[in-house]
């Protein structure tokens, strides 16, 4: 009996050690900005989630102040271009065309730097999410397997790795170049004043919108269905193992079965603790870039409306197109973040179920 108890204690300590060590290493995989945003949140203890979210949001808003000032400076320049373009509306046709071309070039020059910055920011977010998510997945998959869901954990881990790589490649190889092409076509359409490229711009906008929606729906649905399909097999396997232990080992079979339930329960606690920290950490990686891109999109949208009120329709239309391009970068970041969130929640669900 003594040896049996020692073996059971050793089994529990090893399983707890695997989860704890891996959870502690997660913090080192976070970028410094995300660690600063998390504050004292760690994977080793209980977390007051509402309080942590409140503090993280306040810090992210404070760090986005410089982006707001930069966006306001760009808005002032765009309004100046709009005033110049509106003043030239009564000029002769050749001069109006020159002003229209010059205005389009000015808007592209003002917004081009912001678009390049948003693209760089999105790529950095993708890399940081991928790095932390890659470190988080084995920890959560191990905890989910120890908590009684080995089939679901392995299936979700494989699906997440495969689908995550596909999502990253799709965004970097297809979506980001398409956003740049949309901004360039919108500028050309505004510069030539012929409206011949307007239809192509609208088509590209619809394609980008549908691709984003399809990726978000298809990838999250695939992960959810993968966890559901293997959940029943895990439950049956655990129940069968407990019955086999009780029947096959005389006198101490019941003790083994109870000890198994204890190990499963402790592994579920470790999974939930790591999962909550992982979700907050993913949000910390995403929150500041999301705020920065959102500030740019909102300011450009408001500026477009102001330019329209000033009578510079072409400048207003092109500024609105630039705001739409920024919103696509925002949607791409949100799609990548949502995929990481869903994969973590699915692992928490199958391990806690």
**Exposed e or buried b per residue across 37-73, where buried means at least 16 C-beta atoms within 10 angstroms of its C-beta:** bbeebebeeebeeeebeebbeebbeebbeebbebbee
Is the torsion defined by CA of 191, 195, 197, 200 positive or negative?
positive
**Residue 151, SS3?**
helix
Those residues with Cβ within 8 angstroms of residue 312's Cβ, 6 or more apart along the chain or in another chain: 81, 82, 83, 85, 86, 103
pLDDT at 276: 78
pLDDT at 1: 45
pLDDT at 324: 93
pLDDT at 270: 53
- ∠ CA 112-113-117, nearest 5°, is 115
DSSP state of 1: -
pLDDT at 107: 92
Interatomic CA distance for residues 233 and 152, integer angstroms: 8
Angle between helices 253-309 and 198-248 (to 10 degrees): 170
Q: What is the token pair recorded at 168? A: 């990253």
- Rounded to two decimals, the pTM is 0.77
Is the torsion defined by CA of 153, 158, 163, 165 positive or negative?
positive
Q: Which residues of the chain have pLDDT under 70?
A: 1-24, 42-47, 90-93, 147-151, 193-195, 224-272, 350-353
pLDDT at 322: 94
DSSP state of 254: H
Long-range contacts of 257-264, Cβ-Cβ distance < 8 Å, separation of 24 or more: 259/8, 259/11, 259/12, 262/12, 263/8, 263/11, 263/12, 263/15, 263/146, 264/146, 264/147, 264/148, 264/238
Distances in Å between the Cα of 341 and the Cα atoms of 208, 268, 294, 332, 344 are: 22, 18, 20, 14, 5
pLDDT at 93: 66
How do residues 59-117 score in pLDDT, each as one tens digit? 888 888 888 888 999 999 999 999 988 887 766 667 778 888 888 899 999 998 889 98
Looking up tokens 């997440």 gives 160
């Amino acid at each position: 009996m003594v040896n049996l108890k020692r073996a059971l204690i050793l089994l529990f300590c090893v399983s707890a050690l695997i989860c704890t060590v891996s959870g502690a290493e997660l913090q080192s995989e976070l970028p410094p900005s995300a660690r600063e945003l998390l504050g004292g949140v760690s994977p080793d203890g209980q977390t007051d989630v509402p309080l942590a979210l409140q503090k993280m949001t306040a810090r992210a808003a404070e760090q986005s102040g410089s982006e707001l000032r930069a966006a306001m400076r760009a808005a002032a320049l765009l309004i100046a271009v709009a005033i110049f373009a509106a003043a030239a509306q009564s000029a002769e046709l050749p001069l109006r065309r020159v002003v229209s071309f010059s205005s389009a070039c000015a808007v592209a020059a003002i917004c081009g730097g912001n678009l390049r910055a948003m693209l760089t920011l999105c790529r950095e977010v993708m890399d940081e999410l991928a790095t932390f998510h890659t470190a988080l997945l084995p920890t959560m998959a191990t905890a989910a397997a120890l908590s009684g869901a080995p089939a679901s954990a392995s299936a979700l881990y494989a699906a997440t790795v495969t689908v995550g790589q596909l999502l990253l490649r799709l965004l970097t190889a297809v979506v980001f170049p398409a956003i740049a092409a949309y901004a360039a076509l919108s500028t050309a359409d505004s510069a030539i004043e012929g409206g011949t490229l307007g239809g192509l711009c609208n088509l590209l906008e619809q394609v980008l919108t549908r691709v984003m929606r399809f990726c978000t729906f298809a990838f999250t649905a695939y992960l959810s269905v993968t966890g559901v399909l293997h959940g029943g097999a895990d439950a049956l396997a655990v129940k069968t193992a407990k019955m086999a232990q009780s029947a096959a080992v005389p006198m101490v079979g019941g003790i083994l079965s109870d000890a198994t339930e204890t190990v499963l329960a402790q592994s579920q606690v470790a999974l939930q603790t790591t999962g909550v920290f992982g979700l907050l950490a993913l949000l910390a990686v995403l929150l500041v870039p999301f705020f920065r891109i959102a500030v740019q999109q909102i300011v450009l949208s408001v500026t477009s409306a102001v330019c329209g009120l000033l009578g510079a329709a072409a400048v207003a239309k092109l500024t609105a197109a630039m705001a739409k391009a920024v919103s696509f970068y925002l949607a791409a970041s949100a799609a990548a973040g949502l995929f990481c969130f869903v994969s973590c929640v699915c692992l928490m669900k199958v391990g806690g179920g």
